Amino acid sequence: MKNIFRIITVVAFLMLLSAESAWAGNDKRRGTAGATQLLINPWARSTGWGGANVANVRGMDAFYSNIAGLSFINKLEATYSNNMLYGGNSGLNSGGNVNAFGLAFRMFDRGVMGLSVVTSSVGEIDVTTVESPEPINGTYSPTLMNLNVAYAHSFTTSIHGGVNIKIINESTAEINASGFAVDAGIQYVTGADDELKFGISLKNWGPAFYYGGNGITFPFINNAGNTMTGEYPAAEMELPTNLKIGLSYDFLFNAANQYLTVALAFTSNAFLKDNYAIGLEYGLLDVLRLRCGYVYEPDILDDALRTTASTGLCAGASINVPLNKKKGDGKTSLTLDYSYRTNDNLRGTHAIGGTFRF
């Protein structure tokens, strides 16, 4: 019980500090960050309960929620996930697609190495200029991608940590921007059956970056009559850093190997409103998992003041299919994931994914 009270005290203290700091700076900095695609959770499993699993995330979803959770991978895990934002490119209200692929494998007795690639597509955008404002000049398609290389380590049976380095690239035909960021996280597990978990994660910490390329250049003639090329100055963009703090508890039931997990998470955003997530996950026979959650931020219930497309509700499910009859370390399985997130005045966001475990 002493450990429980210590964890709760630490969580409350850190949340108060984060909230006070965010309250002081968010309103003035909101909307000024770059690479905001890093704030989109691309993994179908964790989006089903709003990313509330900061404390108990396991597997490839750790790349978004808390990289320390990567340390729980057994031998080898490969995951693919597709998010159809606001109905996808084919939706009535055209949105975008976010695709993520990840691979992780155990390198040492206590260490796991992971790689992931996340790409975002926003479809085709009409080319317009000052001289030709009508959409008759063709289209272009921006490319947004980040490459992640991570290592997670189990220091003890209770303490797990990880670090992720991400390379960020945004480009069109004539302009691009590149940068890098670092994620770090830690998880603490305690209880007779490891039912209580605490996690904290710092994400997207790194230097500012800016755009460059032919898209911001222009020709001009100097006083001597020579044709030269000038360049419009590009402002630096800071990365959307945030701090996540989470707590979860597993209610275990002997009948049919069932459990019910309650998870809470707080996210302090440097350039957005802070948010709070609560999620539930029910598991049955290591085959079926059902999830639901709600993500709240200030003014989310006010149509006039809401500053996010999301209305907070989300739900999802996973089905685990064994691919052999072995148990323990020799078990191979395929897990299929699905999630749905509600949006305001837009189609909902669907996510589907699959994970092979060896």
Tell whether the model's pLDDT for residue 19 goes beyond 70: no
Pick the most confident of 25-29, 173-177, 251-255: 251-255
**Strand, helix or coil at 76?**
strand
Q: How confident is the model at residue 281 (pLDDT cuts 50, 70, 90)?
A: very high
pLDDT in tens, 82-120: 998 876 554 444 567 899 999 999 998 899 999 999 998
Tell whether the model's pLDDT for residue 165 goes beyond 80: yes
The arithmetic mean of pLDDT across residues 223-243, rounded, is 85
Topology adopted by domain 2-357: Porin (2.40.160)
Higher-confidence residue: 195 or 23?
195
pLDDT value of position 92: 40
Tell whether the model's pLDDT for residue 5 goes beyond 60: no
Lowest average pLDDT, out of 19-23, 190-194, 351-355, goes to 19-23
**Interstrand relation of 242-253 and 176-190 (parallel, antiparallel or unpaired):** unpaired
- How far, in Å, CA of 131 to CA of 345, rounded? 34
**Closest Cα partner for 237 from 194, 270, 203, 200?**
270
pLDDT value of position 26: 53
Strand partners, 106: 112
Cα–Cα distances (Å) from 70 to 154, 185, 190, 266, in that order, read: 10, 10, 18, 20
111-132 burial, b if ≥16 CB within 10 A, otherwise e? ebbbebebbbbbeeeeeeeeee
The arithmetic mean of pLDDT across residues 230-257, rounded, is 89
φ, ψ at 356 (rounded to 5°): -95, 130
pLDDT value of position 141: 80
pLDDT value of position 151: 96
The arithmetic mean of pLDDT across residues 298-321, rounded, is 90
pTM: 0.86
pLDDT value of position 42: 94
Tell whether the model's pLDDT for residue 27 goes beyond 80: no
pLDDT value of position 358: 86
Q: How confident is the model at residue 310 (pLDDT cuts 50, 70, 90)?
A: confident
Q: How confident is the model at residue 13 (pLDDT cuts 50, 70, 90)?
A: very low
23-41 burial, b if ≥16 CB within 10 A, otherwise e? eeebeeeeeebbbebbbbb
- How far, in Å, CA of 332 to CA of 302, rounded? 47
What does the mean pLDDT of the chain come to?
86
pLDDT value of position 249: 96
**Closest Cα partner for 85 from 76, 98, 72?**
98
pLDDT in tens, 183-194: 999 999 999 999
Lowest average pLDDT, out of 83-97, 203-217, 322-336, goes to 83-97
**Closest Cα partner for 87 from 264, 356, 290, 351?**
351
- How far, in Å, CA of 72 to CA of 76, rounded? 11
Percent of the chain residues topping a pLDDT of 90 = 55
Higher-confidence residue: 36 or 231?
36
Higher-confidence residue: 348 or 267?
267
Whether 45 and 353 have beta carbons less than 8 Å apart is answered as: yes
Alpha-helix runs per DSSP H in the chain: 2-29, 44-47
**Closest Cα partner for 313 from 337, 346, 278?**
278
pLDDT value of position 93: 44
Tell whether the model's pLDDT for residue 274 goes beyond 80: yes
